Structure 1
Amino acid sequence: MHFTNIKKHSKAKHAWLLIVGMLLITTSCFKDNEVDERVQSIRAAKRPPGVSAHEILSSETYKSIKLEIHHMEGYPLSSSTASTVINWLEGLVNKPMGIQLVTKAIPAKGKEKYSVQDVRDIEDENRTAYNTGEELGLYILIVDGYFEKDTETEASLGFAHRNTSIVLLGKRMAENSNRLGKPDKDRLEITVLEHELGHLLGLVNLGTEMTTDHEDHEYGGHCDNEDCLMYWAVETNNIFNTLNQPIPTLDENCRNDLKANGGR
Structure 2
Amino acid sequence: MHFNTFKRQKLSQYTWVYILALGLIITSCFKDNEVDERVQSIRAAKRAPGVSAHEILSSDTYKSIKVEIHHMEGYPLSSSTASTVINWLEGLVNKPTGIQLVTKAIPAKGKEKYSVQDVRDIEDENRTAYSIGEELGLYILIVDGYFEKDTETEASLGFAHRNTSIVLLGKRMEENSNRFGKPDKDRLEITVLEHELGHLLGLVNLGTEMTSDHEDHENTGHCDNEECLMYWAVETNNIFNTLNQPIPTLDENCRNDLKANGGR
TM-score (norm 2): 0.98
Q: 1:133 and 2:133 equivalent?
A: yes
Q: Which residue of 1 aligns with 2:228?
A: 228
Q: Which residue of 2 aligns with 1:74?
A: 74
Q: Which residue of 1 aligns with 2:192?
A: 192
Q: Distance in 2 between matches of 1:11 and 1:142?
A: 60
Question: How many aligned residue pairs are there?
Answer: 264
How far 1:53 sits from its partner (Å)? 0.5
Superposed counterparts of 1:157-196, under 5 Å = 157-196=157-196
The RMSD of aligned alpha carbons is 0.9
Q: Which residue of 2 aligns with 1:30?
A: 30
Q: Distance in 1 between matches of 2:84 and 2:156?
A: 22
How far 1:181 sits from its partner (Å)? 1.0
**Secondary structure of 2:35's aligned partner:** helix
How far 1:262 sits from its partner (Å)? 0.8
Q: Distance in 2 between matches of 1:14 and 1:155?
A: 69
**Secondary structure of 2:167's aligned partner:** strand
Q: 1:50 and 2:50 equivalent?
A: yes
Q: Which residue of 2 aligns with 1:107?
A: 107
| 1:81-124 per-position Cα deviation (integer Å, ceiling 9, x unaligned) | 00000000000111111111111111111111111111111111
Q: Which residue of 2 aligns with 1:12?
A: 12
Q: Which residue of 2 aligns with 1:219?
A: 219
Q: Distance in 2 between matches of 1:179 and 1:20?
A: 65
Q: Which residue of 2 aligns with 1:98?
A: 98
How far 1:13 sits from its partner (Å)? 2.5
| 1:167-198 per-position Cα deviation (integer Å, ceiling 9, x unaligned) | 00111111111111111000000000000000
Q: Distance in 2 between matches of 1:167 and 1:26?
A: 40
**Secondary structure of 2:139's aligned partner:** strand
How far 1:12 sits from its partner (Å)? 2.8
| 1:222-245 per-position Cα deviation (integer Å, ceiling 9, x unaligned) | 011111100001001111011121
| 1:49-104 per-position Cα deviation (integer Å, ceiling 9, x unaligned) | 00010111111111111111111111110000000000000001111111111111
How far 1:45 sits from its partner (Å)? 0.7
What is the identity percentage for the equivalent residue pairs of Structure 1 and Structure 2? 89
How far 1:39 sits from its partner (Å)? 1.1
| 1:109-162 per-position Cα deviation (integer Å, ceiling 9, x unaligned) | 111111111111111111111112111111111111111111111111000000
Superposed counterparts of 1:79-90, under 5 Å = 79-90=79-90
Q: Distance in 2 between matches of 1:56 and 1:8?
A: 61
**Secondary structure of 1:78's aligned partner:** coil
Q: Distance in 1 between matches of 2:186 and 2:258?
A: 25
2:120 maps to amino acid: R
Q: Distance in 2 between matches of 1:114 and 1:17?
A: 53
1:49 maps to amino acid: P
Structure 2: 5+ residue runs without aligned partners? none
TM-score (norm 1): 0.98
Structure 1: 5+ residue runs without aligned partners? none
Q: 1:155 and 2:155 equivalent?
A: yes
Q: Which residue of 2 aligns with 1:205?
A: 205
| 1:11-65 per-position Cα deviation (integer Å, ceiling 9, x unaligned) | 2332222121111001011111111111111111111000010111111111111
Q: Which residue of 2 aligns with 1:121?
A: 121
How far 1:6 sits from its partner (Å)? 2.5
2:226 maps to amino acid: E
